[in-house]
Amino acid sequence: MVGSRKPKPITTPAEVAAFRAPDGRNKVRCLVRSKHGSGLALEARADRETKSWLYRFNIGGKQYEMTLGASPAMGLRAARDAHGEAAKLVVKGIDPRKHRKAEKARNMSAWTMNEAFERWIDFYANSPGRRGSVPTPRTVMKQRGRWRVHLQEALGGAYVRDISRRDLIDVLERTAFSAREEARQCLTLLRYLFDYCESREQIDENPAAGLEPAKVRARPSRPRDRHLKLTELQELWLATGQERVRGESSGPTVTLTRPVANAIRMLILTGARRAEVAGMRWSEVVKDSWTIPTGRMKGGQAHRVHLSLQALEVLNEQRKLSTSEFVFESNREVSRPIHPDSITTAVVRLQGRERKEPDLDAPLYHLEHFTTHDLRRSVATLWTENFLADPMLVDAMLAHMPPKLVGTYNKGKRYKMQVEVWDRWGEVVGCHLEETGGANSV
């Protein structure tokens, strides 16, 4: 193929593979036919296994040359495509060499979605919200979990600038198929993340802007309205006492540990969230007052809870069980609190719903299904119905974030009124035990 005469242009992959420098010559070039015009060539050298795709072009009356890639890593079709892209730039008077350098520099400064998320989550974790406090570690952990579980695999490796609205719709629809509320939360996360990227000039426009939950089938599901009647709560209270005693024995009858059973009772008595109870520390309790610090509150503001006599009895029992700073210390991990999920699991077990086949002998199997969070709703409902407590007072007792105007102008917590409700509630919940001979009769 190579001789004294000029070789014919290369047209096939087989000719590319066969092309090489002849004996006695260090290098040789051959033109390559391309539908994008002239200038594409292949160069082979005697001292190299690889060959180089070259493009020679003219701009402003001067001739230049650039390397497009190496063969065999870049095949004939890819070389022709690269030649075509470079030729388009030359037609516009753009030097493709400088364009490549600029594109390389742009890629080096561009963030992948993984990089963007790590930058944003650090920013998010340290940015005060509208109430002036930063997100709690638990909230930050949840955002990390959403990214890892629902978004990272589909989006993580791509450049932020390459993510389209269609990409977001696809991944959110897949998430919504199994978890509609999580899909809605992921959409909110992505809006914040792309806003951050837009402000850092990684993108010109936020692809998640204007994307509504309904468009990705992430419309919030109907809110739960299950709340337990007083008699049902009293059954749960009694069951935690019975199961607690069973938990001291060995064998398959073990259902609840005593710290978990007592944590459920504290949920009933205070209306607090499960994570707030699970992480309760002795240092947070002063006499009959429990102050949950800012870092452990969902709303980012410290919250004060009055402890009724029944709540104090629970703490007195835990004093005998806990050897660490945590009130509800784990039986499995010394100096660690019980996990919030342990409370949820215990509530499920008491209803006999832990496994696919229900446990008909479970103490609360006969009750309509309820969740741990339903306890909080139940307490709020009964405070309002039984004691005619003002709904805004109940919201304050539950540490619900008030409407903006109310939060701005009504700073009074009416704590004395809250104390009265908590005390009366403790008496009402505990009255069933008094009728049956007290807690020790279980």
Give tens-digit pLDDT for 283-322: 999 999 999 998 888 777 889 999 999 999 999 999 999 9
Identify the band that residue 186 occupies on the pLDDT scale cut at 50, 70 and 90.
very high
Residue 413, pLDDT > 70, answer: no
CA torsion sign, 77 to 79 to 80 to 82?
A: positive
Q: Which SS3 state, helix, strand or coil, does residue 71 take? A: strand
The residue assigned the tokens 């100096």 is: 335
Q: Which amino acid is at 198?
A: E
Q: Alpha-carbon distance 82 to 334, whole Å?
A: 63
Residue 343, pLDDT > 70, answer: yes
Identify the band that residue 32 occupies on the pLDDT scale cut at 50, 70 and 90.
very high
pLDDT score of 327: 94
Q: Alpha-carbon distance 396 to 421, whole Å?
A: 12
φ, ψ at 416 (rounded to 5°): -60, -35
pLDDT score of 230: 92
pLDDT score of 222: 61
- Please give the DSSP secondary-structure letter assigned to residue 303: E
Q: Which of 62, 55, 49 is nearest to 29 (CA)?
A: 55
Going from the C-alpha of 144 to that of each of 59, 78, 167, 221, the distances in angstroms are 51, 39, 20, 23
Q: Alpha-carbon distance 243 to 258, whole Å?
A: 9
Predicted TM-score of the model (pTM):
0.55
Residue 337, pLDDT > 70, answer: yes
β-sheet bridge partners, residue 430:
none
CA 127 from centre of chain: 17
β-sheet bridge partners, residue 306:
289
pLDDT cut 70: percent of the chain above it: 87
CA angle 233, 236, 238 (to 5 degrees): 110
Mean residue pLDDT across the chain: 85
Do the Cβ atoms of 217 and 183 come closer than 8 Å?
yes
pLDDT tens-digit series, residues 205-220:
899 988 888 888 776 6
Q: Which of 134, 105, 111 is nearest to 301 (CA)?
A: 134
pLDDT score of 220: 61
Give start and end residues of each alpha helix (H) in 47-94.
76-91
pLDDT tens-digit series, residues 108-163:
678 999 999 999 999 999 988 766 678 888 889 999 999 999 999 999 999 998 99
The distance in angstroms from the start CA to the end CA of the chain is 99
pLDDT tens-digit series, residues 238-281:
999 875 444 444 444 446 889 999 999 999 999 999 999 999 99
Q: Alpha-carbon distance 313 to 325, whole Å?
A: 18
Lowest-confidence segment of 1-5, 214-218, 372-376 by average pLDDT? 1-5
Sheet holding 303-306, edge to edge: 285-286, 289-292, 303-306
Q: Which amino acid is at 39?
A: G
Q: Is the peptide bond before 223 cis (omega within 30 degrees of 0)?
A: no
Q: Which SS3 state, helix, strand or coil, does residue 414 take? A: coil
